[in-house]
Structure 1
Amino acid sequence: MSAPALSQAEAFARIRLLRSPRIGPVSFAQLLGRFGSAEAALEALPDLAGRGGKSYTLASRDLVEREIEAVRRAGARYLFHDQPDYPALLREADGAPPILTWRGDLTLASRPCVAMVGARNASAAAVKLAREFAGALAEEGFTVVSGLARGIDGAAHEGALPATIGVIASGIDIAYPPQHEDLHRRIAEEGLLLAEQPPGTEPRGSHFPTRNRIIAGLALGTVVVEAAPKSGSLITARLAGEAGREVMAIPGSPLDARSHGCNLLIREGAVLVQEPGDVVELLSGFDGTPRSSVRETGESYLAAAPEELADAEPADVANLLSTAPVAVDELIRQSGEGPASVQLALLELEIAGRLVRHAGGRVSLSAA
């Protein structure tokens, strides 16, 4: 059953809700589940924050109106998480963006997607390989997803055009890096450009990991072409593994530090691939059971479905928290309360600015 069409008022309220302080993808979903609509959630936010111990100021209506006009000027459109055209695989991913802006051909996201990522300072051989790999995968009917960075990302986009999705860490109207301004424009015109940040937003360090989760979430699998051991490319690969997607890596010389990340991934359980046919074989008919065994370490998160929050009462868990991160699962166990009640209590603390969320389903009190 398809979701009912969004009214203009509810669409406006959703944008305003997501742009309000301390509202992220998790709290956004929980608020919709609790109150049934963004309009109702906006009315409830000040009271929720008050129960968490702080006052609260919503994003202004003027701010949202300016953003909507900026999206129009950029030739972009909004995509909400429960609309039929929202990419199905991304919707399944933890912390999927509630709202994206896009330009280009949205049908590319409904085709089988493969992510290709790698080093910004890639070797000439790796850049050539990435371009050829991406072109061959596009010819096989795949959409190639990457992050529009220098090096491997740019080569993958160029090789796959027009069958490529660029996921950017800035607003939809900001080309970054500046050297990729033409590529940014071409992808927006011939492929598909996606952004989670509002228009006019310059990329910051914290935006790149969130962009990486979108790249991994869109794709059946991620191919790492060349990468250092502590690179964003490996973060993307491990996020793909945690989401139950295939993780693949092209091996390289142990004498080149740019290959160490790929070789490390293979040692950790990524599938070694050497030609596009290897990727096609792994991903054609992918049934959700990857051959790779790359996983992020972390607690399993006993999350309640957002709709379960509608009738929940907040648990008393503040005394169990400190500035040291603890798994939400552990709070559920120690409090003796259900997941929905614990999540609602954490939501109140988060909106009040007293809670910080960490990777692996962990939370802590804010140090501020």
Structure 2
Amino acid sequence: MNNTQNSTHLTDEQRIDWLRLIRSDNVGPRTFRSLINHFGSARAALDGLPDLARRGGAARRYRIFGKDDAEAEIAAGKNIGVSLVAPTEPGYPSRLALIDDSPPLLGVRGALDVLARPMIAVVGSRNASGAGLKFASRLSRDVSDAGFVIASGLARGIDQAAHRASLEGGTVAVLAGGHDRVYPSEHEDLLKTILRSGAAISEMPLGHVPRARDFPRRNRLISGMALGVVVVEAAHRSGSLITARIAAEQGREVFAVPGSPLDPRAAGTNDLIKQGAILTTEASDVINAVAPIMERPVELPTREPEEAPPEAAEPDAGDRSRIVGLLGPSPVGLDDLIRIAGTSPAVVRTVLLELELAGRLERHGGGLVSLV
């Protein structure tokens, strides 16, 4: 694989500032990057957060993650072998760095060299059939033997089978909670085994117990770091179908294993095939499909967001009122909002930042936003 990664290291102070910013109220990955573009650095963004939130109509005092808390999180992570790495640093999966909501800091541990290798994600039902488990094991082992790292979510069923079958070649567990809050708890021993020759990643802080809404966030990491996602068994409305949808949005290949039309655990995968997913019955189906992608280099940005010049934009009361008035509960595209508002992109982005930090804006995939 022709893979180019421009390594630029954060200083210790930058890493603390980045962690404080991403852990502050209402700051997600997309907002983090908007703040860097707006202010030019994480340090300047931290200074400007309270005023932005106030102008956005925050109902309470804005909370900024403290420096002592950031230093304590970094130290606690080191105690269990977790490093917080930025997208242009070694240990950060190169393809994950390219998605528009990649974590500014990713907690990684284990044999980090596997994170630089090409990956295939394998996901599926927690309540898997015996046939599904057998196929997931065989496929994962064959794909692993061909030189790929297998990524999955450490869940019961298909995820567990995929991890166990690819231990020798290296596998990556993507966690929904903190590194010290393994879910499900009975897979703590499996994770320890994975870490001997593979790795684990999480964007969540230590101590974070995963909630239902955290699993779709985790799923975007599973697909984002991979060349493609194989769905072995998935019922309608399952988490694995969410992963497949996100994978398609990220431009990843989606593979689906066909199953009996009488088995509800195969209903989702059969539908994926109808929608254009690659029908998969053996490892070569996956390997042949991703081969052309591997020939294209992965080019990361050459400069850190910290070095970006600040984006000058100070909306006046009329701008702010007009933009807020155009927003509602239905998502609207940023480009459409800029065009209808009749003002500069920088002004619109600043108002959206104010609203988001005040907890009044929700960002959706594809550049869509709506009022909460």
TM superposition score normalised by structure 2: 0.89
In 2, are the aligned partners of 1:309 and 1:344 still within 8 Å (CA)?
A: no
Aligned partner of 1:145: which letter?
A: A
**Equivalent residues in 2 for 1:220-239, closer than 5 Å:** 220-239=227-246
Q: 2:29 aligns with which of 25, 29, 44?
A: 25
Aligned partner of 1:17: which letter?
A: L
Superimposed CA distance per residue, residues 329-363 of structure 1 (whole angstroms, 9 cap, x where no aligned partner): 32122112343332221011111222122344322
Aligned-pair CA distance for 1:84: 4.3
Q: 2:337 aligns with which of 331, 343, 348?
A: 331
In 1, are the aligned partners of 2:52 and 2:354 still within 8 Å (CA)?
A: yes
Identical aligned residues as a percent: 47
Q: 2:210 aligns with which of 203, 206, 211?
A: 203
In 2, are the aligned partners of 1:108 and 1:192 still within 8 Å (CA)?
A: yes
SS in 2 for 1:252: coil
**Equivalent residues in 2 for 1:289-368, closer than 5 Å:** 310-314=311-315, 315-316=319-320, 317-366=323-372
**2:50 is matched with which residue?**
46
Aligned-pair CA distance for 1:288: 9.2
Aligned-pair CA distance for 1:133: 0.8
Aligned-pair CA distance for 1:273: 1.0
**2:299 is matched with which residue?**
none
Is the aligned partner of 1:263 residue 2:270?
yes
Q: For 1:319 and 1:137, how far apart are their aligned partners in 2?
A: 52
**2:285 is matched with which residue?**
278
In the alignment of these two chains, the number of paired residues is: 351
Q: For 1:70 and 1:310, how far apart are their aligned partners in 2?
A: 35
Aligned-pair CA distance for 1:195: 0.7
In 1, are the aligned partners of 2:39 and 2:309 still within 8 Å (CA)?
A: no
Q: 2:18 aligns with which of 6, 10, 14?
A: 14
Q: For 2:312 and 2:97, how far apart are their aligned partners in 1?
A: 24
**1:62 is matched with which residue?**
68
Superimposed CA distance per residue, residues 231-251 of structure 1 (whole angstroms, 9 cap, x where no aligned partner): 111111111111111111010
Aligned-pair CA distance for 1:171: 0.3
Q: For 1:282 and 1:179, how far apart are their aligned partners in 2?
A: 35
**1:249 is matched with which residue?**
256
Aligned partner of 2:164: which letter?
A: E
Q: 1:120 aligns with which of 126, 142, 152?
A: 126
Root mean square deviation, CA, Å: 2.0
Cα 1:88–1:19 shift into 2, 3 Å: same
**2:225 is matched with which residue?**
218
Q: 2:88 aligns with which of 63, 82, 91?
A: 82
Is the aligned partner of 1:131 residue 2:137?
yes
Q: For 1:3 and 1:105, how far apart are their aligned partners in 2?
A: 19
**Equivalent residues in 2 for 1:82-121, closer than 5 Å:** 82-121=88-127
Aligned partner of 1:238: which letter?
A: R
In 2, are the aligned partners of 1:103 and 1:189 still within 8 Å (CA)?
A: no
**2:40 is matched with which residue?**
36
SS in 1 for 2:95: helix
Q: For 1:273 and 1:345, how far apart are their aligned partners in 2?
A: 46
Aligned-pair CA distance for 1:4: 4.0
Q: 1:175 aligns with which of 172, 182, 186?
A: 182
SS in 2 for 1:222: strand
In 2, are the aligned partners of 1:309 and 1:341 still within 8 Å (CA)?
A: no
Aligned partner of 1:102: which letter?
A: V
Cα 1:187–1:219 shift into 2, 3 Å: same
After TM superposition, the runs of 4+ consecutive aligned structure 1 residues lying more than 6 A away are none
Aligned-pair CA distance for 1:65: 2.8
Aligned-pair CA distance for 1:59: 1.4
Cα 1:277–1:152 shift into 2, 3 Å: same
Aligned partner of 1:74: which letter?
A: I
Is the aligned partner of 1:155 residue 2:155?
no
Aligned-pair CA distance for 1:364: 2.2
Aligned-pair CA distance for 1:61: 2.5
Larger deviation: 108-117 or 307-316? 307-316
Higher relative contact order (CA 8 A, sep 6+): 2
**1:300 is matched with which residue?**
none
Q: For 2:185 and 2:123, how far apart are their aligned partners in 1?
A: 19
In 2, are the aligned partners of 1:328 and 1:361 still within 8 Å (CA)?
A: yes
Aligned partner of 1:48: which letter?
A: L
**1:302 is matched with which residue?**
none
Aligned partner of 1:182: which letter?
A: D
In 2, are the aligned partners of 1:327 and 1:361 still within 8 Å (CA)?
A: yes
In 1, are the aligned partners of 2:10 and 2:86 still within 8 Å (CA)?
A: no
Q: For 1:89 and 1:232, how far apart are their aligned partners in 2?
A: 22
Q: For 1:211 and 1:175, how far apart are their aligned partners in 2?
A: 13
In 2, are the aligned partners of 1:245 and 1:288 still within 8 Å (CA)?
A: no
Cα 1:275–1:14 shift into 2, 3 Å: same
Aligned-pair CA distance for 1:278: 1.1
Aligned partner of 1:217: which letter?
A: G
Cα 1:310–1:83 shift into 2, 3 Å: farther
Aligned partner of 1:261: which letter?
A: G
